[in-house]
Structure 1
Amino acid sequence: MAEYYSKNLARETMKGFTENGYKALHNGGTPPLGYDVNEEKKYIINPREAESVKLIYEMSIAGSSRSEIINELNERGFKTKIGTVFKANSIHSILTNEKYTGVYIYNKTAKKDALGKRNGHAYKDESEIIRVEGGIPAIVSREDFEKVQEILKMRRKKPGTNKAKENYLLTGLIKCGCCGKPYQGNRRHAKNKPMYVSYRCSFRQKTSSRFVTIRKSVKSTLKNMCCLK
């Protein structure tokens, strides 16, 4: 009976959440930066927070780096939803949140796994997700949101571009003649010698670092075995 009651309660609770979803009502938890929730559980714009969201999108479209955006936000005194300073992770979640275009979204994130952990990057099938166009007030335009998604896509293709200390104009354009992997910029500074900037195969760098890790692991294992003897 206790098991039946528990499962039935879960079904009824989920049914209530689903009904709220189709009405574009807040279903609990902390609302995204830029929004508050009124007594009717409707999303309303928080003017001060919305200003920071607009700034993040404007600077991203203008080509500013993640660190430049964070510095500008913190210098102007903006805070995250929980009242802390901005960091890289908080910026990424804002830039990829479609709700800022005015779309209410519910039931998007996949369920917890067998260990009770949830992967925030794993999503349910589109047929299970509740989407209500115009369900909440928009803070950024659909056009600006799509521009930012294109910028993020390009950055994923060139992961080292924003962290590089030099301008590598050929990154992503030239590939290795042996394995076909893209070349990436590399800078070396030997003692008493000038800076040496070049391009090298990204696969070569990954495999060499992997071999170094394996070599260290083998040495450590052998050392432990000798100690046991």
Structure 2
Amino acid sequence: MASRNWGKTQSKQQTAPRAVVYARVSSKEQEKEGFSIPAQLKLLSEYAAINGIRVVEEFVDVETAKKSGRTHFDKMMTYLRRHPTVRVLLVEKTDRLYRNLKDWVTVDDLDVEIHFVKEGTVLSYDSRSSEKFMHGIKVLMAKNYIDNLSEETRKGMLEKAEQGIWPSCAPLGYHNTDGPNGKKIIEVDPVAGPLIAKMFEWYATGRYSLRQLGVKARSHGLTFRKSGQPVTNSTIHKILRNRIYTGEFDWKGKRYQGSHEPLVTNELWSRVQGVLDGRNTSKLRGSSAHDFAFTGLITCGHCGCAMVGELKKKKYVYYHCTGFKGKCGEPYTREEVLEEKFTSFLRKLRFDDDVFEWVSRALKDSCADEKREHAEAIARLEKERNRLQQRIDAMYIDKLDGRVSEEFYDRMRTQWRDEQARCAKDIERHEMADDSYMDEGIELLKLAKDAHRLFEKQSAKEKSRMLNFLLSNCTWAHGELNAEFKQPFDSLAETAMIAAQASASKMGDSARFEKWLPELDSNQ
């Protein structure tokens, strides 16, 4: 009997879906905020056991995801490519798996079934378009969170610059240190600083070339701060051009008076610039200040090189292949022609108010499960918080009656108060997340609906930003533009096309919107 039961267990394990587990914290600090790796792995392991899923491998990352390239994320992608029988991926929630669009595309190409356990969502190739669209919104919001952090960092750096504080890593000749108000400032490096001042004096005499100055500086011991390697001639050239050694510095196109100690006078720095300029045998033309809307967006359909803008007769903008791989036969193209082609392509997203209402309804339906999950989570957390309060109250009576010591009471109360605080924080997170994805989804629908009209009214810079947001793989050949809509806008473009075809053939609403409405899903 025991042998038969063992055989059944083995058979179930062999037929159960095989999965990998992925857990991540974005920094060591998050370990202290309830996002710990053990907590994630425990949650995912319990989920797998309940749902009859066999976990064959675990992957863990403890690092930032500002850029793609997380070590174990990449290892997991390689593992899934090499094991086609493993088609399930378990992860806590969306922003644990990916924090940028590149990661999303990488995972999507593998065609795996992803279980976002805390969100109560399972995403696969067969998922409804509404579910894929809402998932795309979550990824965009995760990316927006990272972008906001970067923006706040840039704001902080700009604020430091306006206060006269160099906002980045100290250049050679200075070192970073803590200022009197706690902010990082730069101070003269007692070893490299005086040597760099001497370099300016030597070069200002005009008796040294950059190569000779490099030899002299290295012979006096000038090395890179971190590696200890001798400085290169190109680094010496950058030092001589850097205004920061005068006590002033340039940051984001604006000049600031620094609060740090200068190493050279403005007069000496100007003399050095004169010597440098006099030694330049080939003068480079200054770059045009013109903003080209489509530079960096299009590649040549013939050879794959970039298409770049060029100003002709100071008023006409033409685009042409760089010909980096050799001479290319694609002729120059006016910017107005490209703009018309992009506008026409964006019209594929256009749909009428009827479609807008139906798709909005689909989004609301797809959010229902998530809202229920949030409501259930809030109820569980409130119950736990009340249970902890009852414990504290009961233990207080025990303390008064002498059944527990005051030391034990204080220790347990502190522990339970901390747990209550975590519950309160989680409750707040669920309450704030309740409608955020829905609002973001409706805004993206509005953007898609009016994309072609908005595009025509934008400045060159805004046109570039909008196309980067909506499109990918743009190529130009034989006077024709080819491009692809990024997720989730590709689903909207497909819906708009189906709706247009359905209207033309007078098909019913069910046929027009079957791919979006949950109640019309054939699987239900």
| Superposition TM-score tier, normalisation by shorter sequence | 0.5 to 0.7
Q: Which residue number corresponds to residue 175 of structure 2? A: 36
8 A Cα contact 1:26 1:37, kept in partner: no
Encode CA deviations 1:38-91: one digit per residue, 9 max, x unaligned.
112111111211122112111111221222222222222222333211221011
Q: Which amino acid aligns with 2:188?
A: I
Counterpart CA distance in 1 for 2:143 and 2:231 is: 44
C-alpha change, 1:2 and 1:78, in structure 2 (3 Å) is closer
1:92 positional shift: 0.2
Which of 146, 151, 168 is matched with 2:275 structurally? 151
SS of residue matched to 2:255: strand
Q: Does 1:18 align with 2:158?
A: yes
Counterpart CA distance in 1 for 2:246 and 2:234 is: 20
SS of residue matched to 2:178: coil
Matches within 5 A, 1:75-86: 75-82=219-226, 83-86=228-231
Counterpart CA distance in 1 for 2:142 and 2:258 is: 41
Q: Which residue number corresponds to residue 74 of structure 1? A: 218
C-alpha change, 1:87 and 1:130, in structure 2 (3 Å) is same
Q: Does 1:139 align with 2:263?
A: yes
1:8 positional shift: 2.9
Counterpart CA distance in 1 for 2:147 and 2:282 is: 47
Counterpart CA distance in 2 for 1:3 and 1:157 is: 46
Counterpart CA distance in 1 for 2:274 and 2:144 is: 48
C-alpha change, 1:5 and 1:60, in structure 2 (3 Å) is same
Counterpart CA distance in 2 for 1:87 and 1:146 is: 23
Q: Which residue number corresponds to residue 65 of structure 1? A: 209
The TM-score with structure 1 as length reference comes to: 0.54
Counterpart CA distance in 2 for 1:14 and 1:134 is: 18
Q: Which amino acid aligns with 2:251?
A: Y
Q: Which residue number corresponds to residue 94 of structure 1? A: 239
Counterpart CA distance in 1 for 2:143 and 2:214 is: 49
Counterpart CA distance in 2 for 1:16 and 1:102 is: 21
C-alpha change, 1:3 and 1:69, in structure 2 (3 Å) is closer
Counterpart CA distance in 1 for 2:196 and 2:209 is: 15
Counterpart CA distance in 1 for 2:220 and 2:165 is: 32
8 A Cα contact 2:247 2:261, kept in partner: yes
Matches within 5 A, 1:47-58: 47-58=190-201
Kindly report the root-mean-square deviation, in angstroms, between the aligned alpha carbons of the 2 structures: 2.2
Counterpart CA distance in 2 for 1:14 and 1:78 is: 32
8 A Cα contact 2:174 2:193, kept in partner: yes
Encode CA deviations 1:80-108: one digit per residue, 9 max, x unaligned.
3332112210110111000000003322x
Encode CA deviations 1:99-147: one digit per residue, 9 max, x unaligned.
000003322xxxxxxxxxxxxxxxxxxxxx3422243210011001000
Q: Which residue number corresponds to residue 104 of structure 1? A: 249
Counterpart CA distance in 2 for 1:36 and 1:132 is: 19
Counterpart CA distance in 2 for 1:157 and 1:32 is: 28
SS of residue matched to 1:135: coil
Structure 1 or 2: more helix by fraction: 2
Encode CA deviations 1:154-181: one digit per residue, 9 max, x unaligned.
111379xxxxxxxxxxxxxxxxxxxxxx
Segments of structure 1 that go 5 or more residues without pairing to the other structure are 108-128, 160-216, 218-229
The TM-score with structure 2 as length reference comes to: 0.25
8 A Cα contact 1:21 1:130, kept in partner: no
Encode CA deviations 1:171-214: one digit per residue, 9 max, x unaligned.
xxxxxxxxxxxxxxxxxxxxxxxxxxxxxxxxxxxxxxxxxxxx
Q: Which residue number corresponds to residue 474 of structure 2? A: none
Segments of structure 2 that go 5 or more residues without pairing to the other structure are 1-140, 284-325, 327-524
Counterpart CA distance in 1 for 2:259 and 2:162 is: 9
8 A Cα contact 2:165 2:258, kept in partner: no
Q: Comparing 86-95 with 66-75, which one deviates more in the overlay?
A: 66-75
C-alpha change, 1:12 and 1:52, in structure 2 (3 Å) is same
Moved over 3 A (4+): none
1:20 positional shift: 1.6
Q: Greater Rg, structure 1 or structure 2? A: 2
SS of residue matched to 1:85: coil
Aligned pair count reads 138
8 A Cα contact 1:17 1:27, kept in partner: yes
1:151 positional shift: 0.8
Counterpart CA distance in 1 for 2:222 and 2:154 is: 36
C-alpha change, 1:4 and 1:94, in structure 2 (3 Å) is closer
SS of residue matched to 1:146: helix
8 A Cα contact 1:104 1:136, kept in partner: no
